[in-house]
Amino acid sequence: MKILSKVIDKDHVISTLGSHCSLQVLKGAKDEGFKTLLLCEKKRESFYKRFKFIDDLFIIDNFRDLLNKNIETELLDKKIILIPHGTLISNFKLEELEKINIPIFGNKWILRWEADRTLKQKLMTESNFNTPLQINKKNEIKNLCIVKLHGAAGGKGYFLAWNEQSFEDGCKELIKQKVIKSEKELYIQEYVLGVPIFLQFFYSPLNKEVELLGIDRRYESDIDGIGRIPAHIQIKLDLDPSYNVIGNFPLVLRESLLQEVFSMAENFAEKTKQLVPPGIPGPFCIEGVYDKNGTFVTFEFSARIVAGTNLFINGSPYSDLLYNEPMSMGRRISREIKQAIKLNRVDEIVT
Ligand code: AMP
């Protein structure tokens, strides 16, 4: 384990896959004085070429080319540190990611706990989160439920069910669209009525502190568009909403809710240390719904940077309370790497 502190130095290059939040991550790296490299699919080259803070575009046909040993060696020679995000998780199997020899920022072992619904539930329960009821069998669906796929799908393919029949109808549709092969791939959760909120944190093992760097809500198609159609027309159209994330809105919470927000994140960071060492160095997101009593019900977490942080490239109201300079999540990652290199503590933040 100690080896990484010896090999990672300030000449290392911050790198990520060209998608999701790569612009923010590399802009932040540049602001912190690092060289940057984007792993870029050929089809997106002309887009990413526009951004001057990207020093090197490493062109590949497909993100999965990272599994090619020659490419891996080339990237190791270029001394990159890979910043994981949702696209990395959705393009690779966990076993593949765990075997990549390129240093990955954060705890790559915890990504499995994000992708696997059973592990995810365990971590949320052990962190004392209120979580929605999990429905194990389709014939137990009695109230409104949301049916989800495993992994980081960005809400794609989710559907609502209120009894066994509606579950089967939704499932048939996903099989027809070749999104899933069988209903075993689905996960049923009680639908929580309220407002969805995404809490963006950074945990620093160097100063042992959780920082709240931003809050957002998502703009999802077509669930957020359905309200634009009057109810009497909605009924006639027999609409089935989907939850595909298209963008994000910034948000602030009532200040009286913030204390609980910090304790949730602190509990979570502590539990990860026990269940998945070394814990959660770096960004994570707690995702849930505030119900009408102001109680937060957590339906998910992300164990890495989320795309909602793209809102705050120039800082957020919350990062502004902590830093006297624009501090995006991407920049915060590079600040931590820079500090860890200086203190010879890279092993605590890279796996
Ligand atoms: P996810 O990809 O799991 O973060 O969820 C995508 C979207 O589905 C969220 O932004 C929410 O709008 C909605 N959602 C997920 N789980 C629930 C839940 N248990 N109750 C209500 N809405 C949910």
Alpha carbon of 220 to ligand 1 centroid (Å): 10
The residue whose CA is least distant from atom 15 of ligand 1 is 299
pLDDT at 24: 98
**Does ligand 1 lie within 6 Å of residue 298's CB atom?**
no
Q: Assign 113 a pLDDT band (cuts: 50, 70, 90).
A: very high
Q: Which of 243, 249, 292 to mutate to test the pocket of ligand 1 (most atoms within 8 A of CB)?
A: 243
**Does ligand 1 lie within 6 Å of residue 218's CB atom?**
yes
Alpha carbon of 245 to ligand 1 centroid (Å): 10
- Quick one: tokens of 102? 């390129």
For the ranges 221-235, 303-317, 330-344, the lowest mean pLDDT is seen at 221-235
**Does ligand 1 lie within 6 Å of residue 331's CB atom?**
no
Contact 129, 264 (CB under 8 A): yes
Round the average pLDDT of the chain to a whole number and report it: 94
Q: What mean pLDDT is predicted for residues 16-35? A: 98
**Does ligand 1 lie within 6 Å of residue 132's CB atom?**
yes
What CATH code is assigned to 134-190? Answer: 3.30.1490
Distance CA 92, CA 90 (A): 6
Alpha carbon of 299 to ligand 1 centroid (Å): 7
Q: What mean pLDDT is predicted for residues 219-223? A: 92
pLDDT in tens, 267-282: 999 999 999 999 999 9
Torsion of CA 338, 340, 342, 344, to 10 degrees: -150
φ/ψ of residue 138, rounded to 5: -65, -30
Q: Assign 2 a pLDDT band (cuts: 50, 70, 90).
A: very low
pLDDT at 115: 87
Atom of ligand 1 nearest to the CA of 190: 19
Task: Give the pTM.
Answer: 0.93
pLDDT at 1: 46
pLDDT at 205: 97
pLDDT in tens, 41-71: 999 999 999 999 999 999 999 999 999 999 9
**Does ligand 1 lie within 6 Å of residue 191's CB atom?**
yes
pLDDT at 141: 95
Distance CA 66, CA 41 (A): 11
Pinpoint the residues of the chain covered by CATH 3.30.1490.
134-190
Helix (H, G, I), strand (E, B) or coil at 97: helix
**Does ligand 1 lie within 6 Å of residue 157's CB atom?**
no
**Does ligand 1 lie within 6 Å of residue 288's CB atom?**
no
Look at residue 296 and tell me whether its pLDDT is greater than 60.
Answer: yes
Atom of ligand 1 nearest to the CA of 148: 3
CA dihedral sign of residues 72, 77, 78, 81: positive
Distance CA 228, CA 337 (A): 45
Is domain 115-129+194-233+244-343 classified as CATH 3.30.470.20? yes
Contact 24, 309 (CB under 8 A): yes
Q: How many residues does the chain have?
A: 351
pLDDT at 127: 97
Q: Which of 299, 301, 302 to mutate to test the pocket of ligand 1 (most atoms within 8 A of CB)?
A: 299
Pinpoint the residues of the chain covered by CATH 3.30.470.20.
115-129+194-233+244-343
Q: Assign 295 a pLDDT band (cuts: 50, 70, 90).
A: very high
**Does ligand 1 lie within 6 Å of residue 248's CB atom?**
no
pLDDT at 249: 98
Pinpoint the residues of the chain covered by CATH 3.40.50.20.
5-105
The residue whose CA is least distant from atom 2 of ligand 1 is 155
Q: Assign 76 a pLDDT band (cuts: 50, 70, 90).
A: very high
Q: What mean pLDDT is predicted for residues 69-79? A: 95
Sheet holding 145-149, edge to edge: 134-135, 186-190, 145-149, 159-161
Where are the extended beta strands (E) located within the chain?
A: 13-17, 35-41, 56-60, 80-82, 134-135, 145-149, 159-161, 186-190, 195-204, 209-222, 243-250, 282-290, 296-302
What CATH code is assigned to 5-105? Answer: 3.40.50.20
